[in-house]
Structure 1
Amino acid sequence: MWRNLGTPVAVHPSQLVPGLYVWLNVRWDEHPFISNRFLIKHLKDVAVIQSLGIDDRVFYFPEKSSVTPPEYVPPPPTTAELEAQRVAQLAAERAALQAEIKLKEEQKRQKRQRQRDAATRAERSWEDAARKTREALLTLQRSPKAAGQMIADLSNDTASAIARSKEVLLHLLGDKKEQGPQFHALNVLTLCMLLGKKAGLTERELSDLAMAALAHDAGKVKVPAQLFKTIKRKKHEEAFVHQHVMFSYQLANESGAFSKDALAAIADHHEALDGTGFPRARREMSRQASILALVNRYDNLCTPEALDQEPLMPAEALSHMFRSEASRYDASLLGALVKMLGVYPPGTVVQLSDGSLALVVAPGPESLRPQVLVYSPELPKDEAPVVELQTEPELKIAEALRPSTLPLDVLKWLNPQQRLSYYFSVEPAN
C-alpha cells in the first residue's frame, strides 16, 4: 500500500543536519544522489547539498526525520551587499531630503503668495476708498447731500466687511506720492474699524464710527490752511483751529446722512475724559467718540500736519500716549490699541536678534512678534522676504531704530514713509 510521507517543510541548506529526511525539489540529473528523497546520514551529505545552489528548493519531512533542524541564522552580508545597501540608503536619504526641500520651498512660496495677496487686496481697497473719500470730502462743502451719501455708502460697505469677516489684517502700504485729506481720514477709519471690532461694536455702530472717522476733519476747509502747518499759533489762531470741529459737525449735519451717534463722535473727536480737550472740554464721551479721539491722536502724533512738529515713531507715539496722556482716554481702549498694533507698530524700523534690519509691515498675533520686511538689498523690495516672527522662535526684535540713524542706502531701500499709510484686508467668514 502507498505510504504518504507527510507534509514537506521548506528548510534552508544551512539548517541541514544528519537525521533529517530531505526532498531535493530538482531534476534527478541535477544532484549526485540516488534519489530526490533520502535521509541525511553524514555531514558530507550536508556539504554536498549546500554546494548545489538550490537554497529555495530544499524541503524536509518532519514525520520521517529523527531530529529537528536548528533555527535559521541568515549569513552576514557580503562586502558587495553592504556597499549596495549603503548606496541604496544614501539614495533614499537624498531623495527624502530633496522632497523635504521641495516641500519647504512650496510652503514658503505659498506663504509669501498669501502675504502678497492680502497686501494687494489692502492696496486695491485703499486706492478705491481713497478716490471715493477724496471726492466726497471735496464735494461736502458745495453739495453736502451727495457727499454724505458717498460717505455713507463707503462706511456701510467697510463696516459690513469688518463685522462679517473671520479675520481682519492691518497692512502698511507702499509709497503714496500724492497728498490730500484722504490720507489721515483713511488711516483713522482703518484703526477705528479694527479697534471698534475688538471693542465689540455692532455693524451699525461700526458704520456710524466709519462715517465720523471719514468726516471728522472735513471742516478744516473753512480754516486757513497755513494755521495747520505750524504749532506756533497765537491764541486767536488756536481758537480758529479749534473751530474746525464745529465746521465738520455742521457739514456732516447738512448732508442729512449722519446719525446722531456719528455726529456726536465728530463733535467730540478732540475731547478728553480728563476735561483737557476741546472745544467744550467734555468729560463724557460715547464709545464711538472715545475710539475716534484715541485713534485721531495716535495718527496725528505719527504723521503731524504741522511742518515744525517732529513726527514720532509709531512705538514712540504709543509710549507717549500710554505714559503721558493715559488720563485722556478710556484705559481699556488704549490698552486694546497697544495690543492691536503691538509693541512695534507698522512703520517701525527694527534690528533683529540676528543683526539684520527690517521694517514692521503688519502686527502679529503676539505683541512682540509682528510681520517684518527684512532688509535684502540684493532683491527688489517686492520680492524681499516678509517674516512672521511668531513662527520663528529663534528670531526676535532686538530694538527699534530711528530712521535718521540708518545709512542712506538702507534708508532708501526700507523707505519708512514720513506719512504712514495703512489699510486692512479681510478674510471672509466661513
Structure 2
Amino acid sequence: MNGEEVIDVAQLKVGMFIHLDVGWMRHPFPLSSFRVTSEDQLVVIRRLGVKQVRWSPEKSQLEAPEAAKPGDVGAPSAVGEVDPAALAAEQVAQARRAALKAERDLLAICEAQYGEAAEALTSLMGLVLKDPRLAGQQAVQLTRSLLDKMLVSQELNLRVLNEAAGDRAAAHALNVSLVSLLLGRACGLGDDELLALGTGALLHDVGKLDVDSRYRHRSDQFNAHEMQAYQDHVAKGVRMAQQMVLTPDALAVIAQHHEHADATGFPQRLNGERMHALARIVALVNRFDGLCNPAVASKGLTPHEALSLMFAQGRSRFDATLLNAFIRMMGVYPPGSIVQLTDDRFAIVVAVNSSRPLKPRVVVYDPAIPADEALSLNLEENSTLGIRRSLRSADLPRPATFYLRPRARFAYFFHGADAPAGAAAC
C-alpha cells in the first residue's frame, strides 16, 4: 500500500496505474496491476462493479512527456555542433537499449501473468479433496480467464519464460493447458470445446493427489506393482473429476490423456479413432512437456529435440494431422531451443509466431556486448540472417552457456502479435 491511494472508479483517468483487487479470474486484463491506456479500458473497469480501486501516482503518467531539452540526444545542441558519428553511434546504442527494455518488459508481463495463473491453480488444487465442486468451478473460471486473455489479440506469440512459477506439478499442468488451448485455438475449436479442453488439461493429473509420491512420476525402474500404482492416477482422476462435476468432454480428457493413436497407451488401450478429439490434443502436448520437463531435470530435452523425437519415433502414437499442426504452431525451433545462426553466432529462441515458424525471435550470444544488454533479434525482420542448426545444451560452448543461460525447465506463456493471423488448420 506504500505510495498508493484509493480513488472512486468514476474519477479514474487514462494514464493512472491502478490495482484491481477483484482477483485475476474476474477481469479480462492481462494483469491485476497496470496502467490504464484507453477509454475502452475505463469502460470495462466500471463494468466490474467495484466502487473504488487503488492507484499509484508515482507509476502513473497523467501528463504529456516534456519536450526535448538542449543536451538531450537528438535535441539541438546549445553549444557547438554534435559530432555526426558520435550521434549515430549513440542512436544505435539507444535503439538497442530500447529494444532490450521492450523485450524485458514484455517478458516481465508474461511471467507475472503466469505467476498469477499458477497461484490460482495451486489454490484450487488445494480444494479438490476438501470441496471438489468448488475446485471444479474455480478450474473452469481459470480456464475462462485464460481464454479471455487469448481473445485480446487475433494472433498470439508463444514465449518461453525464465523460470516456472510454483511447483513442478503446477508448472506442468499450466504448460499442458496453455499449449493445448493454443493448439485448439489454431485448429478452430469453438468456445465450449476450448473451455472443456483447458479445464481437462489443467486437471489431467488431478488423480496424483491420491497417489503415493513415490509413484507420481513414471520410472523405467518400476516393477509391475509400481507401474500399476502409477497408472492408477488416471482412474482416480476420473473419480475426482466426477465429484467436481466437470463436463463429459473435460472428463474424457482426464480419462484418455495417456492413450495413444496406435492403442499402446493406458488404461483402456484406445486407438486414435476411439479417442476423444480433445484428449488427442492433450495426450500430444502432455508428451511434449514430459520430454522437456521430466522428473529428473538432467534427462530433459530441448524443445527442438522433443519435437524431433516425437516426429521421428512417435508419429504412430499421435494423430498425424494434429502432430503436423502442433509442429507448425510451435515452430521448427520452439521457444527455449538453442540454435546456431547462419553467421555462426549462438542464440536461444525466446518467442515464436506460428505464421513464421522459421523466423523466431532470438537472443544472441555476443561477447562484445554485456549479457544484461544481450542483443534481441526478430529474424522475420532480417532477410539475410536465419538459423543453420539446432544444438543440444551440452554442445553449447561454455562462455555461451553462461551468457545465454539455457533453461533447465521450460514454462510457456503467450502474448499478442501485431501481424495478421495464420492459423494452423487441423
With over 3 angstroms needed to count, the CA separation of the structure-2 counterparts of 1:178 and 1:128, relative to structure 1, is closer
Counterpart of 2:360 in 1: which secondary structure? strand
Which region of structure 1 is more displaced relative to structure 2, 209-218 or 95-104? Answer: 95-104
The residue number in structure 1 matching 2:323 is: 334
Cα shift at 1:137: 1.8
Counterpart of 1:425 in 2: which secondary structure? strand
Counterpart of 2:401 in 1: which secondary structure? helix
Cα shift at 1:135: 1.8
The residue number in structure 2 matching 1:355 is: 344
Cα shift at 1:426: 3.1
The residue number in structure 1 matching 2:129 is: 141
With over 3 angstroms needed to count, the CA separation of the structure-2 counterparts of 1:375 and 1:429, relative to structure 1, is closer
The residue number in structure 1 matching 2:116 is: 128
- The yes-or-no answer on 1:416 pairing with 2:402 is no
Counterpart of 1:205 in 2: which secondary structure? helix
With over 3 angstroms needed to count, the CA separation of the structure-2 counterparts of 1:180 and 1:96, relative to structure 1, is same
Q: Deviations over 1:248-282 (max 9, x none)?
A: 222222122x2111111111111112111110011
List gaps (5 residues or longer) in structure 1.
Answer: 1-93
Which region of structure 1 is more displaced relative to structure 2, 318-327 or 290-299? Answer: 318-327
Cα shift at 1:386: 1.4
With over 3 angstroms needed to count, the CA separation of the structure-2 counterparts of 1:119 and 1:98, relative to structure 1, is same
The residue number in structure 2 matching 1:247 is: 236
Counterpart of 2:126 in 1: which secondary structure? helix
Contact 1:164 1:428 in 2 (8 A): no
Aligned-partner Cα distance in 2 for 1:269–1:208: 13
With over 3 angstroms needed to count, the CA separation of the structure-2 counterparts of 1:233 and 1:345, relative to structure 1, is same
Q: 2:149 aligns with which of 155, 161, 171?
A: 161
Q: Deviations over 1:11-54 (max 9, x none)?
A: xxxxxxxxxxxxxxxxxxxxxxxxxxxxxxxxxxxxxxxxxxxx
With over 3 angstroms needed to count, the CA separation of the structure-2 counterparts of 1:142 and 1:428, relative to structure 1, is farther
Q: Deviations over 1:178-232 (max 9, x none)?
A: 5331110111112111101100011221111111111101111222222326321
The residue number in structure 2 matching 1:115 is: 103
Read off the aligned partner of 1:250 and give its amino acid letter: R
Q: Deviations over 1:129-150 (max 9, x none)?
A: 0111122223212221222222
Contact 1:165 1:429 in 2 (8 A): no
Read off the aligned partner of 1:142 and give its amino acid letter: K
- The yes-or-no answer on 1:392 pairing with 2:366 is no
The residue number in structure 2 matching 1:275 is: 263
Aligned-partner Cα distance in 2 for 1:103–1:245: 58
Cα shift at 1:121: 2.3
With over 3 angstroms needed to count, the CA separation of the structure-2 counterparts of 1:289 and 1:400, relative to structure 1, is same
Superposed counterparts of 1:184-199, under 5 Å: 184-199=172-187
Counterpart of 2:349 in 1: which secondary structure? strand
The residue number in structure 1 matching 2:335 is: 346
With over 3 angstroms needed to count, the CA separation of the structure-2 counterparts of 1:152 and 1:380, relative to structure 1, is farther
With over 3 angstroms needed to count, the CA separation of the structure-2 counterparts of 1:168 and 1:325, relative to structure 1, is same
Counterpart of 2:340 in 1: which secondary structure? strand
Counterpart of 1:181 in 2: which secondary structure? helix
Read off the aligned partner of 1:305 and give its amino acid letter: A
The residue number in structure 2 matching 1:29 is: none
Aligned-partner Cα distance in 2 for 1:277–1:206: 24
Superposed counterparts of 1:7-86, under 5 Å: none
Aligned-partner Cα distance in 1 for 2:328–2:83: 45
Percentage identity across aligned positions?
Answer: 36
Contact 1:164 1:429 in 2 (8 A): no
The residue number in structure 1 matching 2:213 is: 225
Aligned-partner Cα distance in 2 for 1:419–1:106: 33
Cα shift at 1:117: 3.7
Which of the pair has more CA radius of gyration?
Answer: 1
Which region of structure 1 is more displaced relative to structure 2, 227-236 or 151-160? Answer: 227-236
Q: 1:371 aligns with which of 357, 361, 367?
A: 361
Contact 2:100 2:374 in 1 (8 A): no
Aligned-partner Cα distance in 1 for 2:338–2:257: 30
Contact 1:163 1:202 in 2 (8 A): no
Aligned-partner Cα distance in 2 for 1:177–1:199: 28
Read off the aligned partner of 1:272 and give its amino acid letter: H
Cα shift at 1:367: 2.1
Contact 2:203 2:254 in 1 (8 A): yes
Cα shift at 1:384: 1.6
Counterpart of 1:366 in 2: which secondary structure? coil
Cα shift at 1:103: 7.9
With over 3 angstroms needed to count, the CA separation of the structure-2 counterparts of 1:109 and 1:414, relative to structure 1, is closer
Aligned-partner Cα distance in 2 for 1:429–1:261: 33
With over 3 angstroms needed to count, the CA separation of the structure-2 counterparts of 1:382 and 1:291, relative to structure 1, is farther
The residue number in structure 2 matching 1:182 is: 170
Cα shift at 1:393: 1.5
Aligned-partner Cα distance in 1 for 2:92–2:363: 20
TM score, norm. by length of structure 1 = 0.71
Q: Deviations over 1:95-135 (max 9, x none)?
A: 99999888877766665454334322211110100111122
Aligned-partner Cα distance in 1 for 2:331–2:155: 17
Read off the aligned partner of 2:390 and give its amino acid letter: A
Aligned-partner Cα distance in 2 for 1:326–1:336: 13
- The yes-or-no answer on 1:323 pairing with 2:326 is no
Tell me the C-alpha RMSD between the 2 structures: 2.7
Cα shift at 1:333: 1.2
Q: Deviations over 1:158-190 (max 9, x none)?
A: 122224532212111013475331110111112
Aligned-partner Cα distance in 2 for 1:407–1:104: 28
